[in-house]
Chain A
Amino acid sequence: MSETEARVEAPKRTALHAAHQRAGARLIDFAGWEMPVQYTGIMDEHRAVRSSAGMFDLSHMGELWVDGPGAAEALAYALVTDPTKLAVGRAHYSMIVTEDGGIIDDLIVYRTGEQRFLVVPNASNAPAVAAALRERLPASGYAATLDDASMRTSLIAVQGPNARAILQPLTDVQLGSLKYYAIAHGTVDGTDAWVARTGYTGEDGFELFVEWDAAPRLWDRLLEAGASHGLVPAGLGARDTLRLEAGMALYGNELDRHTRPAEAGLARVVKLEKAGDFVGRAALEAAAAVGPRKALVGLELRDRGIARHGYPVHLPGHADAAGIVTSGTLSPTLGIAIAMAYVPVDQAAPGTMLDIGVRATRVPAEVVPLPFYKRPS
């Protein structure tokens, strides 16, 4: 083997790898992990989440604990949000950006104690986020330590209208009192767990953080408990179609280091009014003064064809592309092709008609407000 040959690492496996194989999952490489893309089929799993419940192995995601008397202030310096305003037991959606305001990752911050936070980055960015926090926490001037627990923590999500009914008999956490975007400590099936009412599907649901080795037994118990409630295992394929219908951004598609929060419709997440400096403040203040360079919109295709990541978006009758599709699929719930795309700011109003280049043809598409789907309340 020559010295210049890159050493290709085998993909990592979660504690549920054997369970996925037993369930007949089709496994793919995702962010260096071998993960299930589907079990019985993406459409089946997607519909199950909308009508009963689906269970996802999200153990590939990161879990970063930030502790100390200055933990809230240190995170306020490192991220675009203001965790000093988070009550204990509550969570918020956040982003970590570069000095230039480009998005390194979107993530959720949970406050589990006065001086303790759990930061959950995407699997693909977990190492980069951990490295950035290791630099930024001490640089903030506040006392806070970082503990990367990603390889010691398993994460199982149960999402769908029946999620609460399935989970409550197995846990001492009072799910009825657990608000959306809240987190509580307790046990699930006798195992120590942080139970969060968060998710990425647009349905009600819970994310369960447990010790790495506790996952296989918990997964099987949940399947047992969920059998009479229509619970099925669901893979990354359905996770993607569900979040797209719910109008949620995916890092790598809608978000990347060349995109600033306001362009992705996420200006409200950035708390410019918070006290003190934060990484990216100057760039984001300057950008706010000028306004975004592009706008993320939802599109519904009005003729036959499916839009995909990377397809061009044209003003009708124009040869050159004016924008680009970031995500697209056939919506299992709506039965039509939907997409998210970056377009010029003056083409972003709902009702605007644009053309999407699908292979050799142009398919007309209408700008629509996000989300495409909202769960019945």
Chain B
Amino acid sequence: MTTEVRDGLRYTRDHEWLRAEGDEGVIGITAFAADELGDIVFVELPAVGRKLEKAGSFGVIESVKTASDLYAPVAGEVTAVNEALNASPELVNSDPYGDGWMIRVRIDDPASAAALLDADAYRELTAG
């Protein structure tokens, strides 16, 4: 089954997406990842102000059967978290690129976003 890959976003091999505008970024997981996980029942997100390292774990996402780490696509500082995911973790399944967003970050090095996979490269990666 082909899941949605959105143009204009950057992607990691761990199936996170990043929407970057200058040094402001929004991060979530892709439809591919959400589909693999199945019904999401719990999302553990960092506190605002937390410093993230590129490829470091910034939280945990749990489905009915498993728990998985979330990895930061870029280094930066968390400026906001999606509190709606506390009561409605299923938003990650229903709208992974929109209402299922996870954190906003101030990106340390905006150039690092360009080094991530673009939509076509991610499509190829997940074509399977």
Q: Which residues of A contact B (CB under 8 A)?
A: 24, 26, 37-38, 41-44, 237, 240-241, 304-306, 308, 329-330, 332, 337, 359
Contact = CB atoms under 8 A, between A and B. Distances in A.
B67 A306 contact: yes
Contacts of B65: 37, 42, 237, 240, 329
Chain B interface category by residue count: 10 to 19
Given A42-B65, A237-B65, A304 B42 contact: yes
A329 B62 CA distance: 10
Nearest to B1: A24
B64 interface: yes
Contacts of A24: 1
Interface in B48-84: 60, 62, 64-65, 67
B47 to A, nearest CB: 13
Interface of B: 1, 38-39, 41-42, 44, 60, 62, 64-65, 67, 86, 90
Given A237-B65, A241-B64, A306-B67, A38 B42 contact: no
A330 B90 CA distance: 12
Given A306-B42, A330-B41, A330-B42, A359 B60 contact: yes
Residue from B38, B39, B41, B90 whose CB has the most chain A CB atoms within 10 Å? B39
A329 B64 contact: yes
A304 B39 contact: no
B29 to A, nearest CB: 17
Given A304-B86, A330-B62, 11 more contacts: A24-B1, A38-B38, A42-B38, A42-B39, A43-B39, A43-B41, A44-B39, A237-B65, A241-B64, A306-B41, A332-B64
